[in-house]
Structure 1
Amino acid sequence: MSKHLARIAVTILFFFFGGISASWASRIPTIKEAFGVNDSAWGFVLLYISIGTLITLPIAGKIIDKLGSKNATLIFLLTYFVLLIGIGYWDVLWQLKLNLVMFGAISNITNISINTQAIKVSKQYKGQIIGSLHGTWSIGGFAASWLGAEMISSYVPPINHFIYYSSVGIFFSILLFKHLVPEDKTPQTDSPIKESKKGFQLPDKNLAMLGLLAFFAMVAEGMMTDWSSEYMKHVTLAPIQLVGYGLTAYMFAMASGRFISDFTVRRFGEQKTLLFCGIFLFIGLGASVLFPSVYSTIISFMIVGLGVSAVVPMCYNLAGHNKSMAPQQALTLVTSIGFIGFFLGPPVIGFIAQHSSLKTAFAIVALFGLAISVLSRFIVIESNSQTE
């Protein structure tokens, strides 16, 4: 029964974790207007979140290793909620920027610690369950976006909105903490995982390959998040009331695909699931380029959502089951490589779009789908990733 309570606890925490960033995103227009900055200046403000994330990428694994993933999940999730409140509190721009740096930094550490917990829980089950956990993260984002829309329509200030959401999240985080999986205190002299060495440590080829798969998927994720609406507006020439449906279709399919992926992994295995994901990504983006009408592109974006849905959760899961490095260190490595794609992808897409076209950029990223399918054949599946 304890493993089921741990799964329920981690699932609920994933829900609230996904809602934090969505709560902030839903109030961006309100906060931007309050500070009176133009679009160009606001783009640089948002960059501070990325700076915070990049700062903690090299050290997140060591911090979690020191605290333990159970304690780290609680500490940094609570801090994340407090920083969300801070975003709505400051009225001076440099204070907001500092808060956003910390927001990005804590978001990254929370991401790695909660995914380490997810892997610990998944090891108690036969087959993969991490896809459903990431699906719950997506549902949390949907719910928080809806709540944000309600708060906006009711003219609730961001600070009040964030206090309401964070208060509930903090309550459940503290309540569920005792059900998280504790660290194994028993020394494992015969453990296949080598004891961590101080200093720089080269990853094995399999972890590097997982990081590369995450990189390709996160380039596509970042592109869809930042450029799908632009594609709908300027390429498909969608009427204004339909512009947002491309992104909505993509996100709905991505959330659904994460739940479906647990079944496909059990039925077909990780390599075939990655193969299918890459093919869907290629077909979806390719179709949006070849048939750029409004409704065909919405359907194409749904296929893209299915394609990218399972790649990152599966890379995290496989990294956590590796035998050459502790889970939190492996996750840090894969996350670091993947986030390079997430952060660099959208501006590179913009550069290509400016010097060629947005269709060309989408066509190039479509090839990443083929790369995922091809490279999936070279991933080594650790024997305990499918055992109880």
Structure 2
Amino acid sequence: MDAIRQGRGAVAAMFLANGFVMGSWAPQIPLILPRFGITESVLGLLILVLGLGAVGAMAGSGWLIARFGTVGVLRIFAPLAMIALLLVVLAPSMPLLALAMAVMGAAIGCMDVAMNANAVEVERRMGRAIMSSSHGFWSLGGFAGGMGGGVLIAAMGAVGHAALACTLALLAVLLALPRLLRADLPATDQAAGDHPAARPGHWPKGLAIYILGLMALFSMVPEGAVLDWAALYLKQELGAGIAASGLAFGAFSGAMAVMRFAGDGIRNRFGAARVLRVSALVAAAGILAASLAPGSAWAVLAFALAGLGIANTVPVVISAAGNHGGAQAGAAIALVTMMGYSGILIAPSMIGWVAEAVGFRWTFAAMALLLLVVAAQAGRAAGADGAGPGRH
């Protein structure tokens, strides 16, 4: 039992470190434009490279997990993911910057799938769900990285901040690696779908599961928009300084962390469909308020409200996919997860092109419309109430 408890703490540390690096990346984004003299649309292409690297790595990580186990994959890709931000910040030219961002995306993508797979094994051994709180640790890491990033950049410069953030994250990963639960799922279970990327070509049939996938996508597009563009929105359109611009994603992630740690209890009391509907409406209100904010302080508060709402949308949708009738659970989860992650990893690059044409206020307002669609379709997630361990 001690090994299981240590494994629970170790996988939580992986989520925390991953979120911390992503949160530290957010306040670095606005600095890329003046550094290379590029526009938002070019930055959008670079972010697309990062997203394609992550999604491509996710598609192949199932095979790696089946071959080497979750701990084996994390031993290679978790340390790489922790230092990739420094590689991006140190890149001396546009081609090397694009390469560094592709490496960062691939490393974070592989780490993401492997740590989720390891969390599934911990759930099985503990006999209860831990996935929502694991994602809560990711949000907590994002909160710490985003809230402190702007201040540290202002005090230490971009390179100093990246070096410190990567060192702290790497230390956390190296301390956690020996304590990860090593009793990985057998290959037969992986092929059955417990690791969503293990059978990337096997998708379920039926329109209903694809609607759930769109709901995951529409929930994660706003999350990706806040991660990659909120700092630039505060800086360019609301006049915030470097230190203040990093607060948007930090507040968003902090609010998400609080709500994710409370998410399972709330869902058990009120039911999945009701929680999803209210969550999506609150998120839509927060994103809309951010787009209308008269100043950076109001925008930060609005993004925090959006984080409270978005926190439990994707866990509920993925849980509903796992209990979707008429489809193999693993294939359904795989489809919904991949569609959802496209929203946070690939869609933000397109947001940059739109924002350059119409501005960030209109762009964020459009995110609210996506969340209203999720609220309208919330009844489709009622099946999540039958979820057991590993379905959260």
Q: TM-score, structure 1 length as denominator?
A: 0.77
Percent identity over the alignment? 25
Structure 1 counterpart of 2:113: 112
Q: Name 2:59's counterpart in structure 1.
A: 58
**In structure 1, what is the Cα distance between the partners aligned to 2:198 and 2:36?**
47
**Of 174, 178, 194, the match for 2:177:** 174
Whether contact under 8 Å (1:14, 1:133) holds in the other structure is yes
Measured in 2, the distance between the counterparts of 1:159 and 1:286 equals 32
| Residue in 2 that maps onto 1:283 | 285
CA deviation string 1:307-336 (max 9, x = no partner): 111223444455567795575x65543332
- In the alignment, the residues of structure 2 paired with residue 233 and residue 78 of structure 1 have an alpha-carbon distance, to the nearest angstrom, of 32
* Residue identity in the other structure for 1:367: L
- Seen in structure 2, the aligned counterparts of structure 1 residues 19 and 55 have a Cα distance that, compared at 3 Å, is same
Write the mapping of 1:174-253 to structure 2, written as runs, cut at 5 A: 174-177=177-180, 179-184=181-186, 200-205=201-206, 207-229=209-231, 232=234, 237=238, 245-253=247-255
Contact 2:131 2:390 in 1 (8 A): no
Paired residue secondary structure (2:5): helix
Residue aligning to 2:133: 132
> 1:119–1:311: structure 2 CA closer, same or farther, 3 Å change rule?
farther
Match of 1:269 in 2: 271
Query: Cα RMSD over matched residues?
Result: 4.1
- For 2:367 and 2:167, how far apart are their aligned partners in 1? 40
Q: How far 1:136 sits from its partner (Å)? A: 1.0
Amino acid across the alignment from 2:135: H
Residues 254 and 92 of structure 1: is their aligned pair in 2 closer, same or farther, counting only changes over 3 Å?
same
**Is the Cα–Cα contact under 8 Å of residues 120 and 131 in structure 2 kept in the other structure?**
yes
Given that 2:26 and 2:249 are in contact with CA atoms closer than 8 Å, whether structure 1 keeps it comes out as no
Which secondary structure does the structure 2 equivalent of 1:59 belong to?
helix
Pairwise CA distance, 1:11: 0.8
The question of 1:376 aligning with 2:370 is answered no
CA distance in 2, matches of 1:22, 1:330: 29
Are the counterparts in 2 of residues 322 and 382 from structure 1 also a CA contact under 8 Å? no
Q: Aligned partners of 1:218 and 1:182: how far apart in 2?
A: 29
Q: Distance in 2 between matches of 1:283 and 1:192?
A: 36
Contact kept? 2:50, 2:106, Cα under 8 Å: yes
Does 1:309 find its partner at 2:311? yes
Q: How many Å apart are 1:246 and its aligned residue?
A: 4.5
> Where do 1:317-356 residues align within 5 Å?
317=319, 324-325=327-328, 327=330, 332-343=334-345, 345-350=347-352, 352-353=354-355
Alpha-carbon distance between aligned partners in 1 of 2:166 and 2:247, rounded to the nearest angstrom: 30
Stretch deviating more after TM superposition (38-47 or 269-278): 38-47
8 Å CA contact 1:57–1:332 kept in 2: the answer is no
Structure 2 unmatched runs, 5+: none
Q: Is 1:39 aligned to 2:38, yes or no?
A: yes
Letter in 2 for 1:48: V
Note the 1:147-166 alignment, pairs <5 A. 149-150=151-152, 153-154=155-156, 157=160, 160-161=163-164, 164-165=167-168
Please report how far the alpha carbon of residue 220 of structure 1 lies from its aligned counterpart in structure 2 after TM superposition.
0.9
Give the distance between the partners of 1:272 and 1:278, measured in 2 at CA: 10
Q: What corresponds to 1:365 in structure 2?
A: 367
- Check the 8 A contact 2:268/2:385 in 1, yes or no: no
**How far apart in 2 are the matches of 1:84 and 1:357?**
27
Runs of 5+ in structure 1 lacking a partner?
A: none
Residue 87 of structure 1: CA displacement? 4.3
Q: Name the structure with the higher helix share.
A: 2
Distance 1:48 1:233, change over 3 A: closer
Secondary structure in structure 2 of the residue aligned to 1:39 = coil
Q: Which amino acid counterpart does residue 141 of structure 2 have in structure 1?
A: G
The alpha-carbon deviation at position 103 of structure 1 amounts to 1.9
Q: CA–CA distance in 1 between the matches of 2:105 and 2:43?
A: 16
Give TM-score scaled by structure 2 length: 0.77
Deviation at 1:119, TM superposition (A): 2.7
- Residues of 1 paired with 2:118 and 2:211: CA distance? 23
Q: In the TM superposition, what is the alpha-carbon distance from 1:366 to its structure 2 partner?
A: 1.5
